[in-house]
Amino acid sequence: TPIPSAWCQGEPQDLLALPSVRGPLPAPRWPVECEVIEETIEHMEWVPPEPEPFCQPAGPEWVPATASEEKGTVVYHLSAAPRGSCFTRARVGGAPGPLSSPAVPLAGPQDTTLLFESRFESGNLQKAVKVGPYEYVLTLRPDLYTAKHTQWFYFRVQNTRRDPLYRFTIANLAKPKSLYGEGLRPLLYSQRDAQSRGVGWRRVGDDVRYYRGSGKEPPSFCLSWTSRFPHDGDTCFFAHSYPYTYSDLQRYLQALAGDPARSRYCAVRALCRSLAGNTVYLLTITSPAGGAAAAAAKRAVVLSARVHPGETSGSWAMRGFLDFLLGTHADARLLRRFFVFKVVPMLNPDGVVVGNSRCSLAGRDPNRAYGTGLCGSFPGVWHLRAMVERVLAEREVVLYCDFHGHSRKNNVFMYGCDEGGSGRRLRQRVFPLMLSKNAPDKFSFPSCKFKVQKSKMGTGRVVLWRMGVSNSYTMEVAFGGSTLGEGPSRAGFGGGLGICRLFPCPLSSPGGRNSHFTTEDLKSLGYHLCDTLLDFCDPDPAKFQQCLSEVDALLRQRLGREPGSGGGWSDVSLSELESRYGPAALSPEPGHA
């Protein structure tokens, strides 16, 4: 599906496969190599009543005694795209013609073999080999048109038995380090529990191990866990993190379009089409201005998510941001009054649809392509950059934040852009420090980094920063959870833009820590971002100056300088600053709100 030349010019389009208030959603378009089952897969939202703690980490020296894949029986196998192939065309429903049968048929009612399936939106499983009565070795499909980037998994199993202890081992993961080695557990969804008990995704898995596989170059890594199913004959799903599909986004936008109150403040347009022809949506959120001068005085905020399709936590944080900003709270009304928000909730819908971890259908990481002029290869990021250029010509963009997920570090943190100058070096750190105060049980300021590495020059945060967005960040949300202590109930700094907020930030989660994030935890990050934006832009400079002084003191502490000793920061290399990061050196003092 070629990108029309009109899509590499001009403004976003008003009409292009936008979700209507009534009628079916626009169906996702798939590459023609992909088989797609007809069933619609949806999951209920549910928050566990108690925190889900991390499991006890297992050392990498112990490897489970898993039978060799070569000695097992292949019970599910999808054909892979031919090596060296590239995207050519897409259609609704994917591959034409009848579906193949990748799962082996059961021999009879007593056959306990699990029936695997992943040919649905965002699904990823290429092969399952039965190596024991209740033991399976699994292979993930690499990102389409690549031979790498195996991390995201999401698949269905049927023909379950309640009593046996099953072991699953994913044998071709790409990263040498993972939060699975530090207590992260996979997610399980039982359809029977959802229907009968109203229970959705929950953490499962004992004896969770993450280790290097044997005898392969380049090396691959294995995730192994044991689990029991809650029912006989159930339909269950496993996932790396809470799924959030392209159709989930379209359902959300359809509900938004059908809500007279929220749709007053939110215009949904098509930023562009993806390579497969799926719509990349752009939301503009603001209150009607009282005249041209008031409209022109509004500053802009730009947010995006899911440039990496396997990082679903970004979509849940974006959901929380949109829920709050389009709500009735006084802070939401204030934000709509003073700002124009430009939001791209899903930059890489093709990757989301096909179950990729990192790439688009171009077979490359789109978050390294902001500096290129390749609209035809990376339409989402090309049009986001062009949109920001147009906005910058009209008004200041006070903040850009790109929502991501992180596989190796717990908590939430940010990557920023250090200019090296004395003043801006400190100012770049103020927004993350404020966010850490508003979400002390989730956000880790010591984990934030500000060095612009050469390998990150093509990322959204760096390119938009160089275009003139001085506060440009990537927000990283762990696939695991928080290791931070629970903070006190607070109202951030107590007020923003002239309104005194005498009560805690609405919808904040008191969840205990050393536990996994829930979807409500992830959504709360969106609320906290709104809270922090008010603090950051408050006309009263007291809170900003307070944080600026704290950042200065923290950096002096890290470098062994005496508080108040004077001297600028332009003579200190960023490498020296970053190399001395440590929780003890950078943790803000408790109670400094």
Which residues have a catalytic role annotated?
476
Residue 121's nearest CA partner among 3, 235, 42 is 42
Helices 460-467 and 379-394 cross at an angle (nearest 10°) of: 30
Strands 202-203 and 29-31: unpaired
CA distance 339 to 391: 12
Instruction: Judge contact between 512 and 51, C-beta under 8 A.
Output: yes
Could you tell me the two tokens for 325?
A: 């900003």
Residue 545: CB atoms within 10 Å: 11
Q: Are 359 and 366 in contact (CB under 8 A)?
A: yes
Take residue 571 and report the two structure tokens written for it. Answer: 């003579």
Cβ–Cβ under 8 Å, residues 166 and 136: yes
Give me the DSSP letters along 361-428.
Answer: TTSS-GGG-TTS--TTT-HHHHHHHHHHHHHHHHS-EEEEEEEEEESSS-SEEEE-----SHHHHHHT
Return the closest-CA partner of residue 400 out of 413, 418, 388.
388
Contact 205, 192 (CB under 8 A): no
Most distant CA atoms of the chain, gap in Å: 80
For the chain, the C-alpha Rg in angstroms (whole number) is 24
**Residues whose CB falls within 8 Å of the CB of residue 163, separated by 6 or more in sequence, listed in order:** 228
CB atoms within 10 A of CB 575: 9
Residue with tokens 């802009």: 300
Are 305 and 347 a contacting pair, CB within 8 Å? yes
The SS3 call for residue 135 is strand
For 435, counting Cβ atoms within 10 Å of its Cβ (0-12 exposed, 13-18 middle, 19+ buried), the class is buried
Closest CA to 531 of 508, 510, 565: 508
| The dihedral sign for the CA sequence 321, 327, 332, 336 | positive
- The H-or-E segment that residue 529 falls in is helix 519-536
Cβ–Cβ < 8 Å for 365, 268 = no
**What is the C-alpha to C-alpha distance for residues 340 and 377, in angstroms, rounded to an integer?**
29
**Which residue do the tokens 């990021």 mark?**
381
Q: Which two tokens stand for residue 189?
A: 């969804």
Interatomic CA distance for residues 255 and 232, integer angstroms: 36
